[in-house]
């Protein structure tokens, strides 16, 4: 019962009711008009027949006078059917016909109309309805010709009753259908509600079931589910950040604090203090860098930056950054090879892309090794760091390869995550945020990062959708 009363209160049910009401008003008006027109039409038709007969009888009268008229009327009145006649003399006495009296309604309105009558010899029986007209014959005599329309009336009122019942049935079915539809929709909305409740209570894994009907409710559910997935990702990102902060920022902070505390406790000369302070500044600078990187990644992943992308030349950025790092690569005794395709444009942010590429160079510098093996012909050395930009399948692809130890296949997905520093690299300085920043920048630009085996070494492949020039006016 509560389910029904709940369904009665829904918007869907109210809409059904309003629809039904409008439908019934319009249908009622149309059908009512139809009845009225039909009735009029039938009456007019009867009047025409009556008119024709009156004309015929008048001819009889003009040929044979009252006597022939009387004879004809008497004969016709005896025929079974709906025809009604009455011929009276000037005193109003019946001469012939099957009507018992002159209908008063007709006397008032000689042009003709509807009246009630009783058939001669059927006095006391129910009065019936007829349509007819009066004709004045010579010397005050009256001739009334009419047709019974009681059957027509009965038929009309019968069909009116049928229509009314159908209307009642329609209303009943409509209301019932409204309740059913409302309950159906209500049940599905209740599912959405339940999912929302689970999520409010803290379980983010809940999703709205899809019925497979592929209707607007399904589409709404799908959108909501996608939204939930996105929120879940952001939430877990946030959680990860706070976990990371707890671990990777607190550790150096407590190290710093311990050092300062130790210096205070032990005393010592100005030089000792100075040394501790200098190290503290160095370490806090490192912390700041880590913190900045962490914040940037979090904001990049939340999509909070880069709303104002512009058309930028990936070729120029890569060349710039390559030129920036080339001396450093040289100094490390390595060889840099840069293959950049010209005029590769994407929609993006120059600063972020530049930083991502700088991170790739720094990574290659950090983990790559110098003095790579000679190539197969033994003629020249294969570049220690090789950087390439080309367009493959309308995607701009940047690959940066080094000749270092690479990353085992199983660790590659993990290496893109924040603070993940694979065991081999623990000894190297760095925050472990370089590649995850690259990944965040790539994703913000609608691109992707893949780590591959450069045999030997690591190849980082960044792909970006290139700018669709046709979509750009």
Partner 1 sequence: MRVLIIEDDHETASFLKKSLKENGHIANIANDGELGLQLARDENFDVLIVDRMLPKLDGLSAISTLRAEGDQTPVLILSALGDVDDRVTGLRAGGDDYLTKPYAYSELLARIEALARRSQPEESETRFVVGDLVLDRLSHKVTRSDETIVLQPREFRLLEYLMKNAGQVVTRTMLLESVWDYHFDPQTNVIDVHISRLRSKIDRNYEVPLLHTVRGAGYVIRDSDL
* Site for partner 1, rule CB under 8 A: 281, 284-285, 288-289, 292, 295-296, 299, 304-308, 320-321, 323-325, 327-328, 331, 349-352, 354-355, 358-359, 362, 365-366, 430, 434
- Nearest distance from C-beta of residue 431 to partner 1, angstroms: 8
Distance between CA atoms of residues 285 and 431, nearest Å: 12
Q: Which is nearer to partner 1, 240 or 320 (CB)?
A: 320
- Nearest distance from C-beta of residue 200 to partner 1, angstroms: 32
Q: Which is nearer to partner 1, 160 or 289 (CB)?
A: 289
Question: What is the three-state SS of 242-254?
Answer: HHHHHHHHHHHHH
Strand pairing report for 395-402 and 94-97: unpaired
- Nearest distance from C-beta of residue 290 to partner 1, angstroms: 10
- Nearest distance from C-beta of residue 340 to partner 1, angstroms: 16
Q: Which is nearer to partner 1, 98 or 355 (CB)?
A: 355
Q: Which is nearer to partner 1, 142 or 442 (CB)?
A: 442
- Residue 144 near residue 102, CB atoms below 8 Å: yes
Distance between CA atoms of residues 355 and 318, nearest Å: 10
Please give the C-alpha separations between residue 414 and each of 6, 102, 435, 454, in angstroms, as whole numbers: 51, 111, 10, 18
- Residue 365 near residue 322, CB atoms below 8 Å: no
Q: What is the length of the chain?
A: 473
Q: Which two tokens stand for residue 112?
A: 């003709």
Q: Which is nearer to partner 1, 7 or 460 (CB)?
A: 460
Q: Which is nearer to partner 1, 229 or 292 (CB)?
A: 292
- Nearest distance from C-beta of residue 347 to partner 1, angstroms: 15
- Nearest distance from C-beta of residue 274 to partner 1, angstroms: 12
- Nearest distance from C-beta of residue 433 to partner 1, angstroms: 10
- Residue 353 near residue 359, CB atoms below 8 Å: no
Considering only CA atoms, which of 388, 381, 409 is closest in space to residue 462?
388
Q: Which is nearer to partner 1, 74 or 286 (CB)?
A: 286
Distance between CA atoms of residues 315 and 345, nearest Å: 8
In which order are the strands placed within the sheet that holds 395-402? 336-340, 385-392, 395-402, 458-465, 448-453
């Amino acid at each position: 019962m509560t389910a029904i009363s709940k369904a009665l209160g829904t918007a869907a049910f109210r809409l059904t009711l309003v629809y039904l009401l409008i439908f019934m008003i319009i249908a009622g008006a149309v059908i009512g008009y139809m009845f009225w027109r039909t009735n009029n039409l039938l009456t007019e038709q009867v009047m025409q027949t009556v008119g024709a007969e009156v004309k015929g009888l008048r001819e009889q009268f003009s040929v044979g006078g009252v006597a022939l008229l009387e004879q004809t009327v008497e004969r016709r009145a005896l025929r079974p059917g709906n025809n009604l006649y009455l011929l009276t003399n000037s005193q109003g006495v019946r001469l012939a016909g099957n009507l018992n009296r002159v209908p008063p309604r007709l006397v008032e309105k000689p042009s003709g109309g509807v009246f009630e009558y009783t058939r001669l010899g059927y006095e006391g029986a129910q009065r019936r309805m007829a349509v007819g007209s009066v004709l004045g014959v010579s010397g005050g005599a009256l001739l009334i010709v009419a047709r019974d329309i009681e059957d027509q009336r009965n038929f009309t009122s019968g069909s009116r009753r049928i229509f009314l019942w159908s209307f009642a049935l329609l209303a009943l079915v409509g209301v019932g259908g409204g309740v059913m539809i409302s309950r159906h929709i209500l049940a599905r909305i209740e599912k959405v509600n339940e999912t929302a409740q689970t999520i409010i209570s803290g379980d983010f894994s809940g999703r709205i079931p899809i019925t497979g009907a592929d209707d607007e409710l399904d589409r709404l559910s799908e959108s909501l589910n996608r939204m939930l997935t996105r929120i879940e990702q952001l939430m877990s990102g946030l959680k990860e950040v706070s976990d990371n902060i707890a671990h990777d920022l607190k550790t150096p902070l407590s190290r710093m604090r311990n050092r300062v505390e130790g210096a205070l406790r032990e005393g010592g000369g100005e030089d000792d203090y100075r040394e501790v302070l200098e190290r503290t500044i160095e370490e806090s600078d490192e912390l700041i860098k880590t913190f900045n990187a962490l914040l940037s990644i979090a904001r990049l992943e939340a999509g909070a930056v880069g709303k104002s992308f512009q058309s930028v030349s990936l070729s120029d950025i890569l060349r710039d950054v390559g030129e920036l790092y080339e001396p450093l690569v040289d100094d490390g005794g390595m060889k840099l090879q840069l293959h950049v395709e010209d005029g590769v444009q994407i929609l993006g942010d120059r600063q972020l892309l530049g930083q991502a590429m700088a991170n790739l160079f720094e990574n290659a510098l950090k983990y790559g090794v110098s003095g790579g093996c000679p190539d197969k012909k033994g003629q020249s050395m294969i570049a220690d760091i090789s950087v390439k930009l080309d367009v493959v399948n309308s995607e701009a692809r940047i690959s940066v390869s080094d000749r270092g130890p690479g990353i085992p296949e199983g660790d590659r997905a993990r290496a893109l995550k924040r603070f993940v520093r694979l065991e081999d690299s623990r000894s190297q300085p760095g925050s472990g945020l370089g590649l995850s920043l690259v990944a965040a920048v790539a994703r913000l630009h609608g691109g992707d990062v893949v780590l591959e085996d450069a045999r030997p070494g690591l190849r980082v492949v960044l792909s970006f959708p290139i700018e669709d020039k046709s979509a750009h006016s």
